[in-house]
Structure 1
Amino acid sequence: MKTFLNILYWFLIVIALIQFIPVDRTNKPVDEKVNFVTVQNTPKNVTEILKKACYDCHSNETVYPNYAYVAPISWSIKNHINEGREHLNFSEWKNFNPDLKKNMLENSAKSVKDYSMPMTGYIAQHPEANLTKAERVLLVNYFEELLKSGKY
């Protein structure tokens, strides 16, 4: 029993100490002139879907939940956000070259269609991001229309 209490004591000390390791949760300022919804003149219904299901990880408009301030959970969340922005950042849309935009739209359509986005773990904590079949169809159609038009 004494060994267990000793392990528990040190575990709690470590958990308390790692809270002091900083995680940068600063969002870059959003320039509307390069933001996807502005550049593409995205319809309001599509914009609402993007904002509720995609923008936390794929834009510079992340809203961090309360649990994102507790280590080591905060490290995992920040890592997911960094990876999401690396693959697609709607806030910097106009800064990308046409080939990259095309690739991002194709991957977005595929990911929404095959239910790999939004991620299951994200949906578990953000039920509003759980897209209906109709919302998924709307998003996929929007992305595919942009691809067909070549105006991205």
Structure 2
Amino acid sequence: MKKVLIVILVAFIMIQFFPIDKTNPPPTPGMDFLKIKETPDHVAKIIRTSCYDCHSNETKYPWYSNISPASWFVKNHINEGRKHLNFSTFAVYEPKRQLHKLEEAIEMVQKKEMPLESYYLGHQNAKLTDEQRTELVRYLKKVKEDTERNIMFNQ
């Protein structure tokens, strides 16, 4: 038993020598959702607090992202989040893709699938109240309607 513990401890120490890359891509203000959609400050605050760590290029890495293997989970989670929706590069999406991303975001927030429960463990301030959830969905629906109008107008 003692040898097993020693092997586990040595393995844990060794994996600390393989840190994750915490470099965020450079900011692109002209492409950021909050800027291009002229998001009101109170809604922008909700989105920044509850969404931006995983769905933007402005990730603020928590202290436990310095400890492997937790850091690997965090990095994978951020990569997946950015792949599904990146608010920092929202303007790059074609209008129909923007529409699809908005539809997905509305659905995920309404179903309380976002933010993820696991995210709340280290980010209690990210937990949305019912009022915040309603406000966010209302805003995203408005942006979706505006996007739909723009698509129809430009056809």
Q: Same fold (TM over 0.5)?
A: yes
For residue 9 of structure 2, the aligned residue among 9, 12, 22 is 12
Looking at structure 2, the residues matched to 102 and 123 of structure 1 have their Cα atoms a distance apart, in angstroms, of 27
**Corresponding position: 1:102 with 2:92:** no
Looking at structure 1, the residues matched to 134 and 127 of structure 2 have their Cα atoms a distance apart, in angstroms, of 13
Looking at structure 2, the residues matched to 121 and 107 of structure 1 have their Cα atoms a distance apart, in angstroms, of 20
Looking at structure 2, the residues matched to 66 and 22 of structure 1 have their Cα atoms a distance apart, in angstroms, of 13
Looking at structure 2, the residues matched to 87 and 119 of structure 1 have their Cα atoms a distance apart, in angstroms, of 14
Q: Which amino acid aligns with 2:136?
A: L
Q: How does 1:4-83 map to 2 (within 5 A)?
A: 4-83=1-80
SS in 1 for 2:54: coil
Q: Which residue of 2 aligns with 1:116?
A: 113
SS in 2 for 1:125: coil
Looking at structure 1, the residues matched to 89 and 82 of structure 2 have their Cα atoms a distance apart, in angstroms, of 9
Unaligned runs of 5+ in 2: none
Q: TM-score scaled by structure 1?
A: 0.95
SS in 1 for 2:121: helix
Looking at structure 2, the residues matched to 31 and 20 of structure 1 have their Cα atoms a distance apart, in angstroms, of 32
Q: Which amino acid aligns with 1:96?
A: Y
Unaligned runs of 5+ in 1: none
Deviation, structure 1 residue 22: 2.8
Q: Check conservation: 2:85, 2:101, Cα contact below 8 A.
A: yes
> Which stretches of structure 1, 4 residues or longer, exceed 2 Å deviation after superposition?
none
Q: Which amino acid aligns with 1:120?
A: E
SS in 1 for 2:29: coil
Q: Which amino acid aligns with 2:50?
A: A
Looking at structure 2, the residues matched to 72 and 146 of structure 1 have their Cα atoms a distance apart, in angstroms, of 39
Q: How does 1:128-139 map to 2 (within 5 A)?
A: 128-139=125-136
Identity of aligned residues (%): 39
Question: 1:86-118, CA deviations, whole angstroms, 9 ceiling, x for partnerless residues?
Answer: 000000011111111111100101111110000
